[in-house]
Every structure is written in C-alpha cells, then in structure tokens.
Structure 1
Amino acid sequence: MARAKYTNAVLKAAPVSPWLHNKLEDIDFFVDTMTRKCGISTRGLAKLCGVYEGTLRGTLRKVDSAKKAEGGVRRNYETELYKILKDRDIFLKDVRGNSPILNGKEIRAVLHDVCFDVAHYYSGKGYAEAHATVGKMGRFGTEQFIMIQVGFIPRPESIILDDIEYLIAKETVQVNKSRQEEVQFFTNPITGECGIELQGLCYICGGVALKHVKTFLEAQQDPYVQANHPQQIVKASICAKVLEYFGYQHKPRKTLAQHWAKTLNPIVPVLHQKTNYQAPAVTDRESMLQAEIANLKQEIEHLQQLTHQTRGSGNMDWHDFLVRFLKQSLKTHPYLIEMEKLVAKRDQYLDCLIISKASIDAPNSIPFPSFPIAEAPLPDGLILEKTYNLISYKSCRESLTLWAVQELIGYYTGLRKDLRPEYAQQLPDAQLFQLYIVTTHYPQNVVEQAQSWQPTDKPGVYWLYTSGLWIQVIVTSQIALEPHNAIWNLLSDIKEKVQFGLQYVNGDFPELEQLRKYYQL
C-alpha cells in the first residue's frame, strides 16, 4: 500500500498593507507609507468641490483611459478640465500598481496633485466648497493637507556626511515585476544642493547595471555632491541627464527611466519636496545683520523690563514656577531636570533641560536621582522620548516670536556642540534631541510666518517645522482640563484653569500660595 505523503503547512504572515486610511465627514483619505504618495477618494473629492460625483468620475475615467491607450478622446469630448488633466497619472497606486482596498473593495483614489487642480478648476467656476478646499490645501500644500487628515506626519530624516547634515528621503520603487528596491534622495538643508544615491539611480533607470551608469558619469564634469565620499550622491542635474540617456537614447530604452524622468521634472524642486526641504528666504546680508541687531536690542530691552517687573517689584517669576512645577509633576519619573542650563561658552541660558534616564543613549556619568518609574501619564505634549529635551518658556507676560524660536534652535546647536567629546569630529546624533516651546498665548504671528504649523490630536499641542527641525509647541491656555495636565493649567493665566490645577498639585511650597493670591482664589 502506497504511503500518503504529508507536507508541513507553512504559515506565512499576511503582507503588511502600505495604506493608511482615515474617513472624515464621509471623505476617504489615503496615504501610501512606502512611497508617501497620497490621495482622496473620487466621491470625497467631489464633495470637497461641491460637484456631482458622476460628472467628476466620468472626466477622470476618460483621462485615465486615454492615457492607457496612448491616445485621446474625440475633440468634442475634450472638456476644459480634461485638457488640464490630459496625459497625467490620475489615480493613486502602490509600487505594484494596486489601488487602495477598503472593506474588501478596490477604491479609486485621486492623486494629491490632481486633487488640487480639480479643486482649483471648480473654484474658478464659482463653487464655494471648492474655493474653501483650495484655501485649506494651499495653507499646508495638498500632500500635507491629506497626510494631516490621515494622521500621517512624516518627519524629515537627516544624515551627517563629513560633518555636513543632509536631509534624506527613502522611497521603495518597483524595478521590475518581481523586484523592489529602495532609493535614497538627499538635500543639503543649508545650500539646497540635492541628488540621488548612485545605486538608487540605477534602480530608477530600470535596473541598469552599476558599471554602465558609472561609465556615463565618468564623462560628466563633477557629477557627485561630495566627490571623494563613499556615499556616492549624484547631483540632481546629472541625474536628469542619466534618466534622459537611459530612457530615450541608450538601447534598449528603459520605460522606467522615462517614467522617472517625467516624475522628477523639474528635478530640483521635486527632490526638495521629497526631502521636506524648505528654502531660506533670500535677503540682503547687510539688511539681515541690521535686522538681527535691532532684534537683539529689542530683546535686551524686553528682558530688562521683564526683570524689573518680576524680580524688582516682587512679583512672581513665572520661569521659576515652570521648573518647580515640572520637578513636582515628574518627581516619580526617570528624568533629571536642570534650570537655566548654560548651553554655550558665552552666557546663554536655556529655560529648562530634561535629560531622560530611560533612554539607552543617556550618558552614564549623569547623576540621576533614584526613584521608581511611574505609571502616571505625562502632561499633554511632553513626550520626553529623547535623551535631551530642551524647553523654552514664554509666560503670560511674554509673546512667542519667531526670534524666540530661532533662539531655541541656537541653544540646541550650542548644547549639541558642547556635548561633543573632545577631539571628536562628529556631533551627537540629532535624533537624541527634542525641542519644546511652552507658551501661555497662542502665537499667531509665528503661525503666519512658520514653514509648517500642524495641530495634533491634543488641544493646545502643535508641531512647528522650521530650519529642518520639528518643535513641539504647547499652548497652556488651550490645554484640556485633566489631572495630568495640572502643570499646564497652573500656567494657563486663566483663573478657572488655575483653580482646577491647584486641586491636583501635591506639595507644600510657597509658589502655590502666591498663585492663590495672584488670582484671588
């Protein structure tokens, strides 16, 4: 009797979906976390534009069908919107060419750049909903607008090459039907010079052999961002030539190279966008220096007035309050809190520095107090996941200005240099640091001037992006009334919130009595 053959069942984990999805007001937003491309469902886009879904869907399908057929539609079907979208990719797809799946059904999501053009078109036709949508998209950029709705806020990554910090973006691309690879894009945040890592350039050329690309580069003058560095980054302008050559001139012509030549055109702005680079304002150097001197004088006068008001007149010192309350709130957590930390050889003092013992990168030489790790939640916005947490504070007597933000970044730079071991060439990893600003009042002027200002899911907690850094901003007057937020409630300058906070702060120290007298509680 023949024996039956049995094989062990192989259990394979289901592949992780690259899609992030969120539904707000019956509008579906999608983000591909691998490529960071994003879009809005056709139905949702129609609602945002205030138009009939069938009308929009019909136009988008005609454009998509015409592109696939490499032809066009009859002239009498070429509407004004069709002409705007003609020959463009319309729908959002992952690296395998698949659309998002929702409840087991394929969803046609419209790419972010097409969404903006559609909204802009209907806004010009007088649709109020489309006009409002263009305003929202224009404030953050369409990509950021969609990512915020989904809750996906990518932070710019950076890498240091020969003491120069570069912004870096990584993207997974489909080289062929069975092969996916990672491509790295780089931008110098100071000069804006950008490029693509050599091996990744080979991938987007359709998997061309490295030696063939190198042969082409040898004929170019100064093709690399850093000529002698092992991380070979090809300059953006040269990358465009490489894609053009292997896509249209070299045989066999590579279809993928043609695709990327179009996708990265114009190449410098596209690479800047991929790496989240923000170009600094171009101004006259002397004007900048004069403005900086004027700001310094104004800041000195302001500090002198503040010193007179708070210490000379016997009023409360809000900055002392902040540190004392932080120490009280975090007394059972593994943090070392330093007040007015000296962060430079010249006298520059940071309001507060919190060093985390929980981080594996915390220096062993730091004399941490001994206490158990607490389960109590931290105040909203105070994440404290990094080793060094720099906090700048603006009390109810002060306003947060762009200069104050720049000052905090200066403190961060000084501290990072100060922590570098003697004779070491590289600075401590930027990922060890997190910057915070605690302010009583909502900083409207900063919001209007910021490169990016994004709310979080916590009231009164925001992300500010400037100079290549994400800064957590905590507006104490907007923080929710919760026991774990007592420290922010005490510093809110709102009598009812202060009264609430006093109920949840334990400890017998004179500042609490001062608060009661100050607010007549």
Structure 2
Amino acid sequence: MIDWHRLFGLTLEDYFTGTHYRVELEKDVARKRQVLDVVIVRGSGAALDDPCDGLEDLKPHNLLTYKSGQESLDAWAIDELIGHYVNYRKAFAPREPTHRFGLYAVTTRRPRALAHQVTLEPVKPGVYRLPVVGRMITLIVLREVEVCPRNALWSLFSFEAARVALGAESYRWRQDDHLPILETIYQRYRETGIPMSYTFEDFRHDYERELLERLPPEERLRGLPPEERLRGLSDAELDRLEALLARRKSGQH
C-alpha cells in the first residue's frame, strides 16, 4: 500500500511550519499500538494565515483521520476516530475540557455510504459537520473544496491531475527541504496510473523560482558575471548606470 497517510502528514507538517501549531504523525494513543494519522497541537508561534477550508476553527488539540483516493471513509473510520480521541485525551490531556478538542475526517472522495447512514451538514463546498455521539466532527472532502490558492494543500491530495497541478503551482512551502516529499507525491501519482502533465521538473522549477523570489536583490545577483547582471536593461537604463558609475568614480578622486 502506498503510504499516502505519511505523505499527507508530512505536507501538513510543512503547512503549519512557523505557526503556533505543531504536527505529530502516527500518534500512538494506546498501550496496544493504535496509530492516529495526524495530531495538530497548538503551541507558540504565529497564527495560521488564510487557512484551508475546514481548518478555520482549530482547537488546542486537533485529531485527524485521513483517507486517500484509494480508501473509503466509512462509519468504522469515524468510530475509530472517536476511539482515538478518547485514548488521546486520557493519555495526553486528561484535564482539558471537551471544547478544546477538534475532530477532523479528511477524505479524497465523497463518502457516499456514510452519507446514507448519517446526516452531513454542509458548511461550504467540500466541508461538512458530522454530529456523532455528542461530538461534532469536521468532514473535508478534498475533491469538493473550492479550487483556490488557500486550498492548494488540499488540491495536492485530490487524486485529480488538474487539481494536483494547480495545487503544486499555488502551494507555498514553508520548509526548504520539502523537495523529497514533493517528488514522492508525484511518483506515487504516477504509480497509481494518474496521468501527470505537470512533471516533477515543473515542481522543481516552481520551487527554485519561489526560493529566488524570497532572496533580497543582492543575494539574487551574487555570483553572476557582470554581463549577466546587466542583461535585460534598456539602452537608456545602461546610460543612466554608466553615468552613475562615472559620478561615483569622479567623487573618489
């Protein structure tokens, strides 16, 4: 089985970099090993800016189960999430009140069987509320959320080539060592038979362009020969530059 869960968790880890949340992957929440996909815990740092749809109301403790395009989100997965919540609360935050916990189910495709069993309360495209035994679970369907820059992370895991390409172009990575994650995501899509017109070389090119845009002008020009630094300047701009250099030179004597 392709480990989409770990790729999803690693990308979420990048998404929350620099904010006051930290992401923990494959959290062991019981004495008998039971792994929860992702835990997002509030800590120090900046608030999350323009969050993905469904993540607007994060709590101090947020437990998330994820189903890729090769899996189905069913009633059993919801039962497991509730069980993970109970074990996590007992083990790590026994004194925290109920309202400080958020439960999330993220799924690539619409859970049709589950929708026939329980009522999904729509909040916005692709985001639903799922009331279960006194808890409110936020359900996020990645193929249904609005396609826009703030949802670029969701698009990366949509299992739809066009959405994935848009997500790759729009997502602003926080960590500089993300290329192996991105390359693995791309290769996993290739292995599942999803045709990717947006190649990994496109990923790398966009990353390098994004990194260059972050650098101050003097860093961008460092190491370039004089002719490369002057490339693209008009004749008028070159004349002004020559005049400026001549004035500086004359002022030195």
* Alignment pair present for 1:471 and 2:144: no
Quote the Cα distance in structure 1 between the aligned partners of 2:5 and 2:144: 19
TM-score (norm. length: structure 2): 0.69
Which position in structure 2 is the counterpart of 1:344? 30
Counterpart position of 2:181: 511
Query: Which of 75, 80, 99 pairs up with 1:407?
Result: 80
Counterparts in 2 of 1:264-279, with a 5 A limit?
none
Provide Cα deviations, 1:421-471, integer angstroms capped at 9, x if missing partner: 6xxxxx531111110000001001111111x31001x21000011111110
Find out whether 1:436 has 2:109 as its counterpart. no
More helix as a share of residues? 2
What residue is the counterpart of 2:67 in the other structure? 394
The match for 1:380 among 53, 62, 67 is 53
CA 1:402–1:503 in structure 2 vs 1: closer, same or farther (change >3 Å)? same
Q: Which residue does the alignment assign to 1:75?
A: none
Aligned amino acid, residue 461 of structure 1: V
1:417 matched to 2:103? The reply is no
The one-letter amino acid of 1:492's match is S
CA distance in 2, matches of 1:511, 1:349: 21
User: What is the SS of the residue equivalent to 1:471?
Assistant: strand
Q: Indicate whether 1:332 and 2:8 are aligned.
A: no
What is the number of equivalent residue pairs in this alignment?
A: 187
2:101 & 2:164 partners in 1: Cα distance? 31
**How far apart in 2 are the matches of 1:375 and 1:336?**
11
- Any conservation in 2 of the 1:437–1:471 contact (CA below 8 Å)? yes
TM-score by length of 1: 0.35
Give per-residue Cα distances to partners, 1:194-236, cap 9 Å, x unaligned.
Answer: xxxxxxxxxxxxxxxxxxxxxxxxxxxxxxxxxxxxxxxxxxx
Q: Runs of 5+ in structure 2 lacking a partner? A: 199-253
Q: Does structure 1 conserve the Cα–Cα contact (< 8 Å) formed by 2:149 and 2:170?
A: yes
Q: Deviations over 1:339-387 (max 9, x none)?
A: 0111111111110000112xxxxxxxxxx6xx4x156211110135311
Change (3 A) 1:447 1:430: same
Q: Distance in 1 between matches of 2:48 and 2:105?
A: 25
**Residue matched to 1:447:** 115
Structure 1 vs Structure 2 CA RMSD: 1.7
Q: Distance in 1 between matches of 2:100 and 2:33?
A: 24
Matched residue of 1:472: which SS? strand
CA shift in 2, pair 1:354/1:420, >3 Å: closer
CA distance in structure 2 between the aligned counterparts of 1:381 and 1:392, rounded to whole angstroms:
14
Distance 1:355 1:323, change over 3 A: same
Partners of 1:491 and 1:498 within 8 A in 2 = yes
- Give the match's secondary structure for 1:392: strand
Query: In structure 2, do the counterparts of structure 1 residues 374 and 416 end up closer, same or farther at CA, with 3 Å as the change threshold?
Result: closer
Once the two structures are superposed, the pairs formed by residues 126-145 of structure 1 within 5 Å of their partners are none
Higher mean Cα deviation, 483-492 or 508-517?
508-517
Contact 1:353-1:388 at 8 Å conserved across structures: yes
* Aligned-residue identity in percent: 36
Kept after mapping to 1: 8 A contact 2:152/2:168: yes
Q: Which amino acid aligns with 1:434?
A: G
**2:162 corresponds to:** 496
> Could you say what secondary structure the match of 2:116 adopts?
helix
Structure 1 residue runs without a partner (length 5+): 1-308, 311-316, 358-367, 422-426
Larger radius of gyration: 1
- Taking the aligned partners of 1:438 and 1:483, their CA distance within structure 2 comes to 18
**SS, match of residue 448 in structure 1:** helix
Q: Deviations over 1:390-438 (max 9, x none)?
A: 00000111000100000000000111111356xxxxx531111110000
Letter in 2 for 1:454: E
Distance 1:375 1:406 in 2: 29
Letter of the 1:486 partner, please give it: A
- Check the 8 A contact 2:54/2:138 in 1, yes or no: yes
Instruction: For residue 487 of structure 1, report the CA deviation from its aligned partner.
Output: 0.9
Match of 2:232 in 1: none
2:69 alignment partner, SS class: coil
* C-alpha distance in structure 1 between counterparts of 2:183 and 2:78, whole Å: 32
One-letter code aligned to 1:346: K
Contact 1:419-1:428 within 8 A present in 2 as well: no
- Contact in 1 for aligned 2:16/2:48 (Cα 8 Å): no
Q: Give me the whole-angstrom Cα distance separating, in 1, the residues matched to 2:11 and 2:91.
A: 27
